[in-house]
Amino acid sequence: MIASTAINPEHYVSEDTFQRELENVFKQHWLFIGFKDELANHNDFLTLEIAGFPIVVQNFNGELSALLNICSHRKARLQTASKGNRPLRCPYHCWSFKEGGKLAGIPGNNQEFQLDEAQKEKLSLRQFAVDSCGDFVFVRLAPEGQSLKEFLGDCYGMLEDFSDHFTDPVHSGKYQWQSNWKLAVETVLEVYHVPGTHPDSFSHLAKAECDIISVPPHNLGNTPLLDAPKKWWSGVRKQLKLIQHPQLNEYNHVFVYPNLAIGITNGSLMSVQTYDVIDRTQTVLHYRLRMLGTAQGHAKDGALKRAVVANFSDFNHTILEEDRLMAESCQQSYAHTDTAAILGKCEDRIRLFHDAWRNDMETRP
């Protein structure tokens, strides 16, 4: 028998497991927050919440700081949007902050507080590690830990390479799934579900087979594309004057533990997804689609490009909705079963994901 056994269902519903995951998984590893071009200008920012724990990454004169997104005064959120460009100034009473989370200004300090420099220093925002690999920006909540390069290991060079090619951000969005984050992740780690879940969508794109490579705690999967989508993409590249990625021509997929999935279709389109934790049964799927750049920058924004982007954005939406229904279905069942799921050969990336998870949950206190 080559089948393996999945994580027990209780770990998809238990509050105790969820709290341990926050400590042992999400607070330990580097988490993807966005792309450098989303943070290119002074005061550009991105926010991320991990089970409500709020983080902001902001550009201060070209330098990125990752900070706790909670005002030191009376604890309002500093940045309330998921991305944008504005000074790091609290909307409540207008305290403002600068690089490294240091206080930049307190309205009426002399009359209201009379805080001296040393006291202001103590009111700096908590700061976290931030680093990038190519255009991918990551944060780490734990003060100590592996460097981003050590953590990404074999994936480091891949992400640098993807950054060189997929430079054109064409679409992004978020969906809320009523499922545990692990169930959401598991939907992208196998193609065994394709004929059942995606009979009229992904089935027309790729075969239900996969070459799996383990690069712990991460893993890779390559799935052959059918001829029709290859032809379609070849036509698109010709029309938009795009040059295909030289090595990637199938559906090439990289999973960066714990919650980043990167799928590349025919060396032409990169889909980047994170599964952000809300609570034990809710996850936000945040996707970003990026196309190949051209020698001149990005493909011209004409009618053809708009039609192409609309086409694969619709396709992406359909597939994610189909996956959501299955993840939510399993989530509902997991409260009523105590026998673990069984995983076949084609689902071996889920076993690898579970091995990494078990390692975190068992080896850390």
Residue 218, classed as helix, strand or coil, is strand
- Nearest distance, CB of residue 330 and Fe ion, angstroms: 13
Stretch that binds ligand FES, among 32-40, 67-75, 216-224, 287-295 (CB under 6 A): 67-75
| Residues 199, 354 contacting (CB under 8 angstroms) | no
Nearer to ligand FES, 114 or 363 (CB): 114
Angstrom distance (rounded) from CA 241 to CA 243 = 7
Neighbours of 81 (CB within 10 A): 11
Retrieve residue 16's tokens: 């105790």
- 135 versus 347: smaller Cβ distance to Fe ion: 347
Give the angle subtended at the CA of 18 by the CAs of 14 and 23, to the nearest 5°: 150
Q: How far is the CB of 173 from Fe ion (least distance, A)?
A: 17
User: What is the rounded distance in angstroms from the CA atom of residue 49 to the CA atom of residue 47?
Assistant: 7
Residue 73 contact, options Fe ion, ligand FES, none, Cβ 5-8 Å cut-off depending on partner type: ligand FES
* Binding span for Fe ion by CB under 5 A among 35-43, 64-72, 126-134, 323-331: 323-331
CB of 59 to ligand FES, least distance (A): 21
Lookup: tokens for 113: 């507080």
What 8-state DSSP symbol labels residue 10? G
Which of 106/285 has CB closer to ligand FES? Answer: 106
Question: Of residues 42, 74, 174, 364, which one binds ligand FES by CB under 6 A?
Answer: 74
Under rule CB under 6 A, how many of the chain's residues touch ligand FES? 10
The residue among 39 and 210 lying less far from Fe ion, judged by its C-beta, is 210
| 95 binds ligand FES, rule: CB under 6 A | yes
Note whether 56 binds ligand FES by CB under 6 A.
no
72 or 283: CB nearest ligand FES = 72
Q: Is 73 in the site for ligand FES (CB under 6 A)?
A: yes
User: Which of the choices Fe ion, ligand FES, none does residue 93 contact, using the CB cut-off of 5 to 8 A by kind?
Assistant: ligand FES
Whether 201 and 319 have beta carbons less than 8 Å apart is answered as: yes
Say if residues 313 and 291 touch (Cβ distance below 8 Å).
no
Cβ-based burial of 336 (10 A; exposed 0-12, middle 13-18, buried ≥19): exposed
Residue 107, preceding peptide bond in cis (omega within 30° of 0): no
Query: 168 or 323, CB closer to Fe ion?
Result: 323
Determine, following the binding rule CB under 5 A, whether residue 323 of this chain makes contact with Fe ion: yes
- Smallest gap, in angstroms, from Cβ of residue 202 to Fe ion? 6
Pick what 323 binds: ligand FES, Fe ion, none; C-beta below 5 to 8 Å, kind-dependent. Fe ion
Q: Which of 50, 76, 278, 326 binds ligand FES (CB under 6 A)?
A: 76
Check binding of 90 to ligand FES (CB under 6 A). yes
Retrieve residue 306's tokens: 């708009």
Which residue lies nearer to ligand FES by CB, 76 or 208? 76
Q: Which residues contact 259 (CB under 8 A, 6 or more apart)?
A: 31, 32, 181, 185, 274, 275, 276, 277
- CA–CA distance, 223 with 230 (Å, rounded to integer): 13
Calpha distance 237→53 (Å, rounded): 42
Residue 76 binds: one of Fe ion, ligand FES, none (C-beta under 5 to 8 A by kind): ligand FES
Strand order in the sheet with 127-133: 31-35, 136-140, 127-133, 63-68, 53-60, 44-50, 83-85
112 sits near ligand FES (criterion: CB under 6 A): no
Q: What residues make contact with Fe ion under the rule CB under 5 A?
A: 323
Q: What residues make contact with ligand FES under the rule CB under 6 A?
A: 71, 73-76, 90, 92-95
